[in-house]
Every structure is written in structure tokens, then in C-alpha cells.
A and B are shown apart, each in its own frame.
Chain A
Amino acid sequence: MQHLKKIFWLLLITQPLVRNPAMAQEGEKLFKQNCGACHLMGKRLVGPDLTGITDRQTEEWIKAFIKSSQTVIKSGDPEAVAIFKEYNELLMPDQNLSAGEIDQVIGYLKGFSAPAATDAAPAEPEAPMEFTDADRELGQALFVGSTRFANKGASCISCHNVTNDQVMLGGHFAKDLTGVFGRMGAAGVAGIIGASPFPAMATSYANAPLTEQEVHALTAFLEHADKVSAEQTARSLYEPFVIYGGGGLIALLLVIGVHWRGRMKQHVKRDIFARQLRSN
């Protein structure tokens, strides 16, 4: 027991000093799992390029931002607000990481200090994804659910809506994806679909990951949806509900009123009670 305590204290004291390769590896793994969908070192993806971030910001700031970006933004931090504005007010979800894990991620980020980034050759423009009509069709089928995902995940339309005449109204639980391709680009969309940083989506697909082909097809469909979004008729989710629901209710009440018009409407003693004297 004594022994363990000693080890514990030793670890605690030396912990910030230690930057061993094993920890950096751990940090890289965590980064790829949790941040990789939006962030890439040396290249701007959905989120900003994080090269040299440790030089630009203090460690506390980074920690707070990873924990809850919205808290930092709402606190009015000018730099955080500026980033938020720059990236189309796209939310960075809160990360479910422990303090130790965040340290590991920061440790990994420190490996990409500013000079290294500047040294690196400007990122070569990546080859744009190629989308065929077949991809788009498969993507639409997968989105709507007429074709099931290979691993039986829920189809996108359960939670997401896309304004497209070919597709029926989707769910309103999550973001409308009509213009998502325009905001995030192919890499961003594919990244989020493949390994979502959003907790609800990550949990939903934790046991039903999408295949690469499916990710590609869905990206193709979303690209198409974005491209043709201007030609689509916007449909309201609520108007038909009000019209059909209200109309249906009135019709139902009419049927009930007519069909059961001969029902007992009052008890038979009403005139007897009406003649009685009351004490109050």
C-alpha cells in the first residue's frame, strides 16, 4: 500500500514533465478518433488547421476549448468568437475526454509547432473526389433507407432532412443537410459521415459503422443535393400537419356528432334536481 502511494505521488509530480513517445502515440490515436473528422494537421478541413496551435494559444485556452467550445465562445473570448464566425458558426461538439486524455492530445499537437508547419510544403491540392451517377443513386437510396446499410445502421432520413424533390421529408432531430456539402466540402462531409464527432451520431453508429463505399455514395448524394438545392421546392413540415390534422379533427367530430346524435347527453334526473332547494 505504501509502495503504491509512493508511485502515485511520483507519477503525479513527474507527469507534466514526461513526454514519452508512448504518450505521444496515445495522443495521436485519440486525435484521430475524436478530432480527425474535422481537423487535419497542415490542412484546413471542416475545422481549422491545428498546426502551431500550441504556439498561438495557451494550454489552458486549448483545454477549455476542447472541453466545451461553446462555453468559451459564449464567455466572449474574441479569438474564439472570430474562429466561430470564420467557420460558418459551425459548432464544435463537446468532447467526452478526461483531463488526462486532453493532455495527451495537446501533447500530440505540440509535436506540430509552427516552424515545422511553415517548413512543410504548402499542402498540395488533393485530388477532388470523383462521383458517378451510380454513386449518387446509391447515396440517395441509402439516405432514404430503401437500401439498408451493410451493418444495419439507421438510415439518415430518420434524423436528417434534405430538401430535394426526389426525397421525402426527413426527420428534424438533427441538422438539415441540404447545403452541408457547400459548407464543409467533400473531405469534411466524408469525415463526419465516416467517424462522426457528434455524440448522438457517434453513439448511433458505434456498432454499425458505415463502409467506405457507403460514405462515398452518401457524400456523392449530398454533393448533388447541394448543387441542385436551388431548383427544389421547399416544403414545410408543419403546414400539412396543421391542415390535415385540423381538418381531420373537424371531420372526425362531425362524424361522431352525427353518428351518435341519439346518445344520452344528460342524466334523467335533471328536472328533478332543478326543482330541489339547495343549502348552498
Chain B
Amino acid sequence: MNVRSQITMVFHLDKCIGCHTCSIACKNIWTDRRGAEYMWWNNVETKPGTGYPTKWEDQDIYKGGWVKDGNSVSLRGAGKWKGLKNIFHNPNMPVLEDYYEPWTYKYSDLFTAPEGDDQPTARPVSLVTGEHIDVKAGPNWDDDLGGSPDYARKDVNFKDLSPVEQESMFQLERMMMFYLPRICNHCLNPACVGSCPSGALYKRGEDGIVLLNQERCRAWRMCVTACPYKKSYYNWNTGKSEKCILCYPRLESGQAPACMHSCVGRIRYLGVMLYDADRIEAVASCPENELVDRQMEIYLDPNDPQVIAAAKANGIADSTIRSAQQSPVYKFVKEWGIALPLHPEYRTLPNLFYVPPMLPAMASVDSDGVYDSTTKSLWGGVETSRLPMAYLASLFTAGDEEKVRNVLRKLLAVKIHRRDTTVGDLTKEEVEEALQIGKTNPGEADAIFRLTSLATFNERFVIPPAHREESIEMIEATADVKGETGFGFKMKPARGL
């Protein structure tokens, strides 16, 4: 057992209101720079929709992620030979049009235009070329099902749905949507790290954050192809690729990442999980239908004395183990089993889990021919959900509908249990049946309810102390840099200090 610690996350999709505050917080801090305008380290997609970059989930186009290769895995579009073949021209990368051409408006025209018959307008100007452009696409033009024929209907996850099922998703009273906020998954088996010919990408040992060394990056852009989530972006201005850094400077000082801190719906949870690094290859290369379960097994119980001993032997700090024991993510993912990884079939073992959304039930026509869009109970059953299970299964379980259904049943049981507790208008049988179907109990339901609805900041974000005082000891004599941590020069200026 090779125990390591990993920062993991849960996004509760039922709580997401699609306000994009997370995206803006991230952009303001990290990507509001020349060459980085089109980067959305955090973005919010409307589902059904094509996402950002357009159709990123279609690996036939972008060749991202891993494929099973015997008892191991190999990169679909990068790696030693495939990478070498394409090293000077990589044809599987998203191009500017697959993202969008970033723009601003020429506001100065509003003030400097000569007097005329028409009001002056601020025309859009490309942030790449500086020329006037016709804005053709934006990073979230599929928002709220906008442009449905173009975006929603071309959702890659429809591949498992029949044309009739697809059509029904766009009928009045049957239409539905939900939001899918995405950041880098800081995967256990990151394809970007595996693909980099320069060795610029690495997974931080202490907390598993995947980072891209700007000094070693040589702009081969293999990571752009390899990341199946398309969360590595190429900065055309600096000639280096960049990606989400999970706000590690904030984490190291005990703050939540900006996207999570600013989240209006409080949908985001962050905590440490311990995992067994020896099992990564076996898990990543297991048959597709076992991927989710096997990934859940790789995360270890932080209360197990054996795990604690192994963790300590591996140099994991006591404070980190304590954080892992209080991790909200561990509860969602392991204890309750209601959070699922996004597209596990890419075999990167992502560390960002989603609680799938419960959506309105389908309308029905009863025996008297009356059209009825209400349901008997407050919430419709999982079976009458407007959202085809196959669709959610394509997103979160590599096609296993039963797994999604189990999660939704449990979430429904929590709601019924809480209604019974707070309103008390349900019969005992009804409540017990729901709990039984949901495979849960009142205690667990209350705990899920509490962490979902009432959790405080410190319950949602259990950030392990970074122990920077220890990491600096490994590099230099601490007395030399006493009082200047965070203010020193990484590369000394040419004329000296």
C-alpha cells in the first residue's frame, strides 16, 4: 500500500444556479491576461449542450484520454510514438474556432465619434488580432439552452439515446436542462502529465494538484490533445500552455480556491482523500463497467488504523490525515456514494465528483384524458424523471444507468425523510419505503441533508495545512530565508539583490 493524499472535490449539481460567478472569479484572478483571454479554467456548461470547447466530449475528434491497452492504458492521441509523429504538427487539437475568438468593444468610439445622424456604437474588436470582428461564438453561448438546434441537439452524450428519446428532450413540458460547472479534475492518472514530451506537467506529491511548469513547457501542446476534459489551454502570447492550478497559493494559506469560495449556490466541496497509488494502473485499465466502483475502492478509509500507519510511513502529516477524516468529499463519495466522477471512461480517474441533478418529472395524460404536469407526491419518482437515465449515465458512469438511478433514489429518500421530519404529512410506510429503496437510513439522510443544505464554510472546505515550513526545509536552510517566505526571488535579478 502506497498511501498518498489528494485534494478532491464534489460539485452538487442540484444546487448550481448557473450564475458563472465561479468562472468570473477565476478569470479575474488568473486568466485576465493577453493570450489567456479564451481560457476558462473554470466554466459552466448547460447540459444538454456541446460544452467548451465545442464537443470536447467527442474523443473521436480530439483524441483525448486513455484507452485500455492489455493490462495497462495508453494515450489515445499522444504518447511516445503517436506524439513523436505529430510533434511538429498536432492535428487533433481544438483550434480557435472550436473555442471562440475573444473580443472586447471599442469603447473609445462612444466618446470620439464625430457628430452624425446615428448614435455611435462600440464595435467588437478581436483580442487576438485587434481587428473588427463579427462575433460568432462565445464560451457559453449554449447557456440556458440558447441556440438549442446548434448546441443542445449536438450534445455528444446523445450517442446512447434513440432519436425518439432525443426528440422528446426538446418537447414543451418535457424539456429540461441542468448546469455542469467544470474545472481541472486533478486526476489520479492524468493524461496531460503522461503526454508532455518536455516533462513540464507534474502531479504535486503533497496534495496531488496537477501543475504545469512554465519554465519547462516547450509548447508542444500534447497536453491540449491528451486532456479529455480540454482543461489545458495554450497561451499564444507566452507560447506556453496553462491550466487550472486549483488556486494552490490560496490552498497553501488555508483559503478555498476562488471558484469555490465565490460560489453563490454553495455547490462546491473540497477535502482530502487518501488513496493507494499502487492500484492506479490496475484501476485505470479495468473493464469499462467496473471503472466507477474500482475508482471508489482506490480511496482509502482515513479512519482505518492500517491506512493511517501506512500514510504516516509515507510521510503524510498527521494534520493531513485529520483533514482526510473530516473530508466532506469522503462522505459524499465513499460513505454515502452519491457523487460520481465525470466521464470515468476516459480512464484518468478524475478527482472531481458530481452529485447528479434531480430534475422535474414528466407530464402525463391520465385515464380521463386530462393532461397533468403535477405529480402525486411533491417530487416525481426517479422513474418518471424528464431526463433519460442513459443521458446521465453517459456523463457520470460510463453508461451504467443503474448506478445513477441508485444515487437519485437515495437523494429522493433524503428529501422524503426531511419532509417527514419538517412537515410530517407523509405516512410512515411511504417514508420507510423511500428509505429502503434509497438504501439509506434516517441518520444518514439527516447527515446528507445537513452537509447539502446547512454546511458552513469550514464544513464545505476542509483544507489540510500545507506545512510550508517543512517543504522549505527540504530546499534551503530556513534561517537564511527567515521572514521572507513568499517575498523572495525565484530567479535572482541579473544585477543581483
Note all chain B residues with C-beta closer than 8 A to A280.
134
- Give residues of chain B (34-64) contacting chain A, Cβ–Cβ below 8 Å: 50, 53-55, 58, 61-62
The verdict on A278 contacting chain B, using a C-beta distance below 8 Å, is: yes
Note all chain A residues with C-beta closer than 8 A to B61.
264, 268
Distance to closest chain A CB from B448 (angstroms): 39
The verdict on A58 contacting chain B, using a C-beta distance below 8 Å, is: no
Does the CB pair B137–A268 fall under 8 Å? no
What CA separation (Å) do A275 and B92 show in the bound complex?
25
- Give residues of chain B (463-490) contacting chain A, Cβ–Cβ below 8 Å: none
B54 in complex: contacting residue of A264, A269, A275, A278, CB < 8 Å? A269
Does the CB pair A273–B54 fall under 8 Å? no
The verdict on B95 contacting chain A, using a C-beta distance below 8 Å, is: yes
- Give residues of chain A (255-280) contacting chain B, Cβ–Cβ below 8 Å: 259-260, 263-264, 267-273, 275-276, 278-280
Note all chain B residues with C-beta closer than 8 A to A271.
150
Distance to closest chain B CB from A229 (angstroms): 47
Distance to closest chain A CB from B385 (angstroms): 29
Given A269-B54, A269-B137, A263 and B91 touching (CB < 8 A)?
A: yes
A268 in complex: contacting residue of B55, B91, B136, B147, CB < 8 Å? B55
A263 in complex: contacting residue of B50, B92, B151, CB < 8 Å? B92
What CA separation (Å) do A260 and B95 show in the bound complex?
17
**Most interface-central of A259, A269, A271 (chain B CB within 10 A):** A269
Distance to closest chain A CB from B152 (angstroms): 12
The verdict on B98 contacting chain A, using a C-beta distance below 8 Å, is: yes
- Give residues of chain A (31-81) contacting chain B, Cβ–Cβ below 8 Å: none
Q: B143-157, CB under 8 A of A: which get 1 and which 0?
A: 000010111000000
Does the CB pair A264–B137 fall under 8 Å? no
The verdict on B383 contacting chain A, using a C-beta distance below 8 Å, is: no
Does the CB pair B91–A278 fall under 8 Å? no
How many A residues face the partner with a CB closer than 8 A?
16
Does the CB pair A269–B98 fall under 8 Å? yes
What CA separation (Å) do A259 and B84 show in the bound complex?
14
Distance to closest chain A CB from B86 (angstroms): 8
What CA separation (Å) do A270 and B149 show in the bound complex?
14
Note all chain A residues with C-beta closer than 8 A to B96.
267
Does the CB pair B136–A276 fall under 8 Å? yes
What CA separation (Å) do A252 and B134 show in the bound complex?
38
Q: A22-34, CB under 8 A of B: which get 1 and which 0?
A: 0000000000000
Given A267-B98, A268-B98, A273 and B136 touching (CB < 8 A)?
A: yes
Which residue of A has the minimal Cβ distance to B86?
A260
What CA separation (Å) do A111 and B134 show in the bound complex?
87
Does the CB pair A267–B95 fall under 8 Å? yes
Note all chain A residues with C-beta closer than 8 A to B147.
272
The verdict on B97 contacting chain A, using a C-beta distance below 8 Å, is: yes
What CA separation (Å) do A103 and B62 show in the bound complex?
79
For the complex of A and B, 4 pairs with smallest distance between CB atoms: A263-B91, A267-B97, A272-B150, A268-B54
Give 5 A-B contacts (CB < 8 Å), ordered by A residue. Answer: A260-B91, A263-B92, A267-B98, A272-B137, A275-B150
